[in-house]
């Protein structure tokens, strides 16, 4: 996969970069594995705005991804590599020997025609899914489960991967993409390889309209609002707010810790910060 630049025929294309989609092998998704996404505009069921900054966006069909990889010891062949508008990485359509088709996250170097399999004692190969207890330390993994059988939750974005640093008893020491090191039970499944579309973070949006295609509406800064709308609003001329930075509801930002204590905190060996 590569990126492409555009001729600067307009200010919006001067710094704009995009994908060349050279790895895509199918233009339409598998109809049985999609459903329609409805736009919310950030409103809840009562019509009240609960999430700011959401608006517009292109129509999307959600692709149902198999994060569980629970068809064990049954080979599957990669049929197509496809674009998914709902995530940053590419997805692969695989067909199992019994005829069932499913979508999986497409890792780096997985190609059409490759065979993948999930199980306890399968080969250490890109695209195969195994329990953490069967994966040697130092091999990149993605789509890692937190709880056995509930499907992968970690390392699902473009270019993400985790590393097993060590194994101790019932737990594996897993380094997450954020740098956090966490204990995860060795029965939890993970997929071998790094998530594809590694160049995603080098893409330059180039113009405001391209953010609107993604459903991102503009957000005004607090200091340019009136006092009735934001605690940092008002003042003569260009004011810097007159108080420590905060949210529209008065909660401090920029360093104020909001993380609540969770029962799972005991499994964190080293925090990301």
pLDDT tens per residue across span 138-194: 999 999 999 999 999 999 999 999 999 999 999 999 999 999 999 999 999 999 999
Determine, yes or no, domain membership for 216: no
Q: State pLDDT tens for residues 215-224.
A: 999 999 999 9
Report yes or no on whether pTM surpasses 0.85.
Answer: yes
Residue 237 lies in a domain: no
- Is there a domain that residue 240 lies in? no
> Does 115 reside within a domain?
yes
pLDDT (0 to 100) of residue 187: 97
- Give domain status of residue 228, yes or no: no
Gyration radius (Cα) of the chain, Å: 22
- Residue numbers of the chain with a pLDDT score lower than 50: none
In a domain, 68, yes or no: yes
Q: Which residues contact residue 73 at a Cβ distance below 8 angstroms, ignoring those fewer than 6 apart? A: 117, 118, 119, 122
The number of CA neighbours under 13 Å toward the Cβ of 242 is: 13
pLDDT, residue 273, reads: 77
Residue spans of alpha helices (H) in 156-242: 208-213
Average pLDDT of the chain, as a whole number: 95
> Total domain count for the chain?
1
For residues 135 and 164, the answer to whether their CB atoms sit within 8 Å is: yes
* Domain presence at residue 109: yes
Indicate the SS3 state at residue 23.
coil
Q: Which helix (H) or strand (E) holds 103?
A: strand 101-105
Domain span at residue 38 reads: 3-201+264-270
Of residues 158, 207, 201, 200, the one with CA closest to residue 6: 207
| pLDDT, position 173 | 98
Count the alpha carbons within 13 Å of 39 in the hemisphere toward its beta carbon: 12
Question: In 3-state terms, what secondary structure has residue 202?
Answer: helix
Instruction: Look up residue 246 and give its DSSP letter.
Output: B
> DSSP of 112-144, one letter per residue?
TT-EE-BSTT----TT-EEEGGGSPTT--EESE
CATH code, domain with 181: 2.40.50.140
Residue 178 tokens read as 């954020």
Q: Examine residue 8 and state whether it is found in any structural domain, yes or no.
A: yes
């Amino acid at each position: 996969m590569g990126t492409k630049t555009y001729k600067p025929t307009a200010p919006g294309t001067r710094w704009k970069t995009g994908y060349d989609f050279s790895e895509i092998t199918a233009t339409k998704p598998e109809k049985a594995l999609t459903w329609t996404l409805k736009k919310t505009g950030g409103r809840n069921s009562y019509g009240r705005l609960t999430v700011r900054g959401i608006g517009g966006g292109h129509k999307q069909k959600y692709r149902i991804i198999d994060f569980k990889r629970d068809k064990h010891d049954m080979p599957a062949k990669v049929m197509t590599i496809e674009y998914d508008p709902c995530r940053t990485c590419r997805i692969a359509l695989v067909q199992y020997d019994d005829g069932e088709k499913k979508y999986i996250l497409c890792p780096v170097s997985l190609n059409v025609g490759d065979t993948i399999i999930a199980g306890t004692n399968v080969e250490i190969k890109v695209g195969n899914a195994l329990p953490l207890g069967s994966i040697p330390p130092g091999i990149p993994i993605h789509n890692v489960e937190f709880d056995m059988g509930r499907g992968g939750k970690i390392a699902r974005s473009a270019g993400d991967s985790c590393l097993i640093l060590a194994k101790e008893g019932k737990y594996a020491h897993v380094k997450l993409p954020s740098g956090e090191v966490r204990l995860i039970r060795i029965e939890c499944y993970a997929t071998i390889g790094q998530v594809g579309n590694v160049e995603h973070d080098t893409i330059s949006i180039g113009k405001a309209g391209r953010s609107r295609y993604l459903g991102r509406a503009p957000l005004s800064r607090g200091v340019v609002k009136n006092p009735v709308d934001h605690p940092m609003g008002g003042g003569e001329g260009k004011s810097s707010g007159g108080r420590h930075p905060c949210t529209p509801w008065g909660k401090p930002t920029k360093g104020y810790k909001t993380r609540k204590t969770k029962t799972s905190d005991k499994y964190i060996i080293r925090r990301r910060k």
